């Protein structure tokens, strides 16, 4: 592997180079296998036995370099038609670990599409990709204007749910499965503009006199999706 190739792959750790190239890196045998099995286009597969441990250490973003990594083309999904069934909308979710976890949860609970506001953490951030554990290759992720999205859901007669600390107990609420669930920012929750579009405000209640202020957005998403799917 040439010095130029090493420099180029290393550059994909930075968002500006991922954006300009339309590429991202996945690392580890499981993740590379997931990429190869998906409909994503894999540009290059690099194995440690071919380039040596020193080179792999230089191009890897992990603490312990993996035996294999791949360079993969990004997908750009557009909000052309509304996805059917239960969908997620993420309003300013910024933490890569949370984003990756939510993508994995969507995959687990059969949610095929996630809509993200444009100020969410980038889907192809290496930490998001790793935290998704391969689910990023199976979920349709669309970056769009959430206000316009909510308007379209309303026009289609589909309900919009949001999680709030002053909402109705989710375990006692009527939940429809052809709907949109909005999950908010880690610190501020759902933005005011999007909040005004929500039809049903739901709450995950605490028990036993808990003094905890709130749940992590990834944990909250797991509870909410579990309850929707339980019905």
pLDDT category of residue 231 using cuts at 50, 70 and 90? confident
Chain centroid to Cα 10, Å, comes to: 23
Q: Is the pLDDT of residue 208 over 90?
A: no
Alpha-carbon torsion angle 23, 28, 34, 36, nearest 10: 60
Q: Rounded to an integer, what distance in angstroms lies between the CA atom of residue 123 and that of residue 74? A: 10
Q: How does pLDDT run across 39-98, given as a tens digit for each residue?
A: 999 999 999 999 999 999 999 999 899 999 999 999 987 777 899 999 999 999 999 999
Q: Which domains are seen in the chain, by residue range?
A: 3-73 (3.30.1330.30), 87-230 (3.40.1280.10)
Q: Rounded to an integer, what distance in angstroms lies between the CA atom of residue 218 and that of residue 131? A: 11
> Looking up tokens 């949001």, which residue turns up?
162
SS3 category, 155:
helix
Laid out side by side, the sheet with 23-27 consists of: 23-27, 68-73, 42-47
pLDDT of amino acid 210? 84
pLDDT of amino acid 214? 83
Which of 160, 162, 156, 176 shows the shortest CA–CA distance to 82? 156
DSSP string, 142-208: EE--HHHHHHHHHHTT--EEEEEEEEEEGGGS---SSSEEEE-BTTTBS-HHHHTT-SEEEE----T
> Looking up tokens 């499965």, which residue turns up?
177
Q: How does pLDDT run across 121-164, given as a tens digit for each residue?
A: 999 999 999 999 999 999 999 999 999 999 999 999 999 999 99
Q: How does pLDDT run across 4-46, given as a tens digit for each residue?
A: 999 999 999 999 999 999 999 999 999 999 999 999 999 999 9
Q: In sequence order, what are the residues at sequence separation of 6 or more whose Cβ sits closer than 8 angstroms to the Cβ of residue 69?
A: 25, 26, 27, 28, 32, 45, 46, 56, 59, 60
Residue 176 phi, psi dihedral angles, 5° rounding? -105, 140
């Amino acid at each position: 592997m040439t010095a130029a190739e090493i420099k180029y792959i290393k550059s994909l750790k930075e968002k500006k180079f991922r954006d300009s190239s339309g590429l991202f890196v996945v690392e580890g045998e499981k993740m590379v296998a997931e990429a190869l099995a998906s409909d994503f286009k894999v540009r290059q597969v690099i194995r440690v036995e071919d380039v040596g441990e020193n080179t792999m250490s230089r191009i890897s973003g992990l603490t312990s370099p993996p035996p294999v990594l791949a360079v993969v083309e990004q997908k750009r999904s557009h909000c052309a038609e509304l996805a059917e069934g239960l969908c997620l909308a993420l309003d300013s979710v910024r933490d890569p670990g949370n984003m990756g976890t939510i993508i994995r949860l969507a995959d687990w609970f059969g949610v095929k599409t996630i809509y993200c506001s444009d100020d969410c953490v980038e889907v192809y951030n290496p930490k998001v990709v790793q935290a998704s554990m391969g689910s990023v290759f199976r979920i349709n992720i669309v970056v769009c204007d959430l206000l316009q999205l909510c308007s379209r859901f309303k026009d289609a007669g589909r309900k919009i749910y949001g999680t709030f600390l002053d909402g109705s107990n989710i375990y006692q609420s009527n939940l429809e499965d052809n709907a949109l669930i909005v999950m908010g920012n880690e610190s501020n929750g759902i933005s005011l503009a999007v909040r005004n579009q929500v039809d049903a405000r739901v709450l995950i209640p605490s028990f036993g006199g808990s003094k905890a202020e709130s749940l992590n957005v990834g944990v909250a998403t797991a509870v909410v999706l579990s309850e929707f799917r339980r019905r």
